[in-house]
Structure 1
Amino acid sequence: MIFYDFFSGCGGTSQGMREAGLTIKLGIDFDRDSALTYRKNFPTARFIERDIRQLKVKDIAPHVSASKRRRPIVFGACAPCQPFSKQRRSDRRVDARKDLLGEFHRFVRAYLPEYVFIENVPGLQSVDDKEGPFARFLKFLTKLGYWHAHQVVVASHYGVPQHRRRLVLIASRLGPISFPKPTHGPGTRRRKLPSVWEAIRHLPPIAAGEVHPSIANHRAANLSPLNLLRIKATRAGSTRKDWPADLVLECHRDHDGHSDVYGRMAKNLPSSALTTRCISLSNGRFGHPVQHRAISVREAACLQNFPMNFEFLGNLESTGRQVGNAVPVAMARVFGKAIGQHYRRYQKEKRR
């Protein structure tokens, strides 16, 4: 099976699909550093570095037509999710990114892939429920003859060491399709959820602001002397509520909201959901559980299940953003395997 990654970012979905046995044919994204990272890690795939709004359907024809009749194809689309996040849902300003899923319609209609995979924040489903972008996409799939299933899943139930809730859709033109069963948690053979420490304990210690000399992307953001005192006053799994009064920020006095900022991860639990600022201590519960710093880019990548040989290109801010934006690899792998199993069942039934 052949996979085409729309809004690919650095390639989290592609990595998961590759691990599931699919051939990665094409990545599409307009972010320069993500393009560099994708090309570095998927050297046999093609890449189109362009905004999908300026991309014509015919532009991907050279990459699709040759394979279309010999092997089934899968289109994946994980459009930027920030317009639908909790923080942005109340923002009434027009955000052009909200119609990016609609842009994906054009390519599905033109090439009719056997399978479609979509991942996004749960907010995509609830925004303007009947006429929003996701509702329109479901109607569009049904009109084209696709069977589809969607639900909000918890990434830790699919092997990701994060409490990350995501909306996932899978669709097939070959027959009814259902969700793969969770691999971790209650009712599975692995009842214990994957933890932060299982994911990052193999990495050697580094200090805030330090770059490891031989491990790619094992680099941590620097901390001011005051923020170093703050993280030292924070227990693993806890927050700024541990701090003595002289360390509390003025904006946090008598304010109970944003309780995760400046927090530390717990060792033996999944982390909170990584964001584009996942290597910044002041932007979430992104403090290392043991060392006095925020997690490094490589540690964030491990929490997203990227293998150690997957290298991210760009500066510190860019690489952290790429990791935080990525689809968790383990989750994509589970759904990639489910798509493969569905196709094998289809072939078997077809031969009867």
Structure 2
Amino acid sequence: MKPKTPRISAVDLFCGVGGLTHGLVRSGVDVRAGIDLDPSCRYPYEANNSAVFVERDVNEVTPAEIKSYVGGRKGYSLLAGCAPCQPFSTYSQSGRSKKRGLDWQLVSKFGELVSQVQPDLVTMENVPQLQDHEVFEQFLGNLHGYSVSASVVECIKIGVPQSRKRLVVIASKLGALEIEAVGKKGNSVRTVRQEIADLPPIAAGEKHADDPLHAASSLSEVNMKRIRASKPGGTWRDWDPELLAACHRKTTGATYPSVYGRMEWDAPAPTITTQCFGYGNGRFGHPEQDRAISLREAAMLQTFPRDYKFLADDETVTFSRLGRLIGNAVPVRLGEVIGEILVEHVRKAEKGTLRPISEELSGRLF
């Protein structure tokens, strides 16, 4: 008999289109609300999740507002989220110094809300580079009284079909975290083939009649020649010289072998970024069709369900907007694994089998 799932009520800060929320819900967490500044996230968030979308700058969110969703309920409270990580990203070089302070401020705000709300459970997901900055230490400083574990997760080890690393923090006031349990999950590595091979073929510049998100960006004549000359897993070095771009002819171009590349069927995808719909932006070429991956394929490689709704019926496909929403999302499977850890942790707390926090041993989650 499957054990009863404990009641965990959550608020998802910086919720985006709902990747973390959807994963947490799959694990049995009751996400009550998602908060995000971007109005483009409202439809996909609410169309796929039984939670309210609050369009708000997190800097303006009050502890009382969060408590209105998770406070005073039977069970346990969770504050979750992923503060925007652009100042740390290697894919976002322009304007970094200007945005850096603003986005670091959001990490600090997350920590302040934890300190003020005092939820039973906390989880934060972000880029690995965050742990090397003082703002991360400040965030951890707001977790006084919690059992805390932080680790860099290789997403391919938990069933996400892409080479993506993320920093995950989990904290609990219920007792010491059982950090050994996660490594026993034994997920096999999923591949591009397993995730997207059964989608119907489309050409560059086309979208499928039954799924407007299964749309591929157009290719210029020269890029069509380039992708036809590209091998799965190969590089632009496989091309004839006349196809090389000017940047490839420079010495600095040698450090970017994966641009204009095709994915491999039987390997994980590269990290899905906000520019994943563009063939020239990374190894985002389809393994065999002469086009970049479609927006639907990108979403599925982010482990969103195939039927996850990103567009209302009256909306049109905008590659830059949808690419941003998909690329910035927390992979659903990562959210699900985090939720599974939290649910199992609460079960043990209810059984009285957790060590007190004062006796916690140091360790890693993954």
TM over 0.5: yes
Where do residues 57-136 of structure 1 align in structure 2 (5 Å cutoff)? 57-67=63-73, 70-86=74-90, 92-93=97-98, 95=100, 96-127=102-133, 132-136=134-138
Of 321, 336, 348, 1:318 maps to 321
User: How far does the alpha carbon of each residue in 1:14-61 deviate from its partner, in whole angstroms, 9 at most, with x for none?
Assistant: 11111101112000001111122112212x311110111222333334
Residues 209, 219 of structure 1: 8 Å contact kept: yes
Give me the TM-score of the superposition, normalised by structure 2: 0.87
User: Structure 1, residues 60-98: CA drift from partner, whole Å, max 9, x if none?
Assistant: 34323342xx12121111011111123568954452112
Which runs of 5 or more residues in structure 2 are unaligned? 1-7, 312-316, 355-366
Counterpart residue number, 2:45: 38
Q: Which has the higher contact order (CA 8 A, sep 6+)?
A: 2
8 Å CA contact 2:214–2:296 kept in 1: the answer is yes
C-alpha separation between the residues in 2 aligned to 1:174 and 1:291?
51
Tell whether the 8 Å contact from 1:57 to 1:106 is kept in structure 2 after alignment: no
- The number of equivalent residue pairs is 337
Counterparts in 2 of 1:2 and 1:59: CA distance versus 1, 3 Å: closer
- In the alignment, residue 345 of structure 1 is paired with which amino acid? K
Rounded to whole Å, the distance in 1 between the matches of 2:206 and 2:99 is: 40
Deviations 1:148-193 (A, max 9, x none): 1011110000000011111111100001114452477xxx3x5x51
Distance of aligned partners of 1:295 and 1:87 in 2 relative to their CA distance in 1, 3 Å threshold: closer
Equivalents in 2 of 1:178, 1:120: separation in Å? 22
Matches within 5 A, 1:142-161: 143=144, 145-161=145-161
Q: Find the aligned partners of 2:82 and 2:192 in 1 and give their Cα distance.
A: 25
Matched, 1:205 2:201: yes
> Residues of 1 paired with 2:92 and 2:325: CA distance?
19
User: Does the CA contact (< 8 Å) of 1:262 and 1:282 recur in 2?
Assistant: yes
Q: 1:324 to 1:62 in 2, by over 3 A?
A: same
Shift of 1:222: 1.0
Q: Output the CA distance in 2 between the equivalents of 1:216 and 1:106.
A: 41
SS in 2 for 1:166: strand
Matched, 1:18 2:18: no
Structure 1 residues 323-344: Cα deviation after superposition (integer angstroms, max 9, x where no partner): 1111111121111011100000
Find the aligned partners of 2:99 and 2:53 in 1 and give their Cα distance: 29
Shift of 1:282: 1.2
Flag structure 1 segments of 5+ consecutive residues without an equivalent. none
Q: Distance in 1 between matches of 2:238 and 2:34?
A: 45
Q: Distance in 1 between matches of 2:277 and 2:72?
A: 42
What letter corresponds to residue 76 of structure 1 in structure 2? Answer: A
Contact map agreement 2:66 2:117 (CA 8 A) in 1: no
One-letter amino acid matched to 1:159: G
Sequence identity percentage: 39
Question: In 2, distance between residues paired with 1:94 and 1:322?
Answer: 18
Structure 1 stretch displaced more, 102-111 or 237-246: 102-111
Q: Distance between the aligned counterparts of 1:78 and 1:334, measured in 2?
A: 15
1:134 shift after superposition: 0.8
Distance 1:53 1:22 in 2: 25
Task: Please name the residue that 2:220 is paired with.
Answer: 224
Tell me whether 1:271 sits opposite 2:275 in the alignment. Answer: no
Matched, 1:330 2:337: no
Q: CA RMSD in A?
A: 1.9
Aligned AA for 1:321? R
The amino acid of 1:215's aligned partner reads D
Structure 1 length as normaliser, TM-score? 0.91
User: Within 2, Cα distance between the matches of 1:299 and 1:33?
Assistant: 20
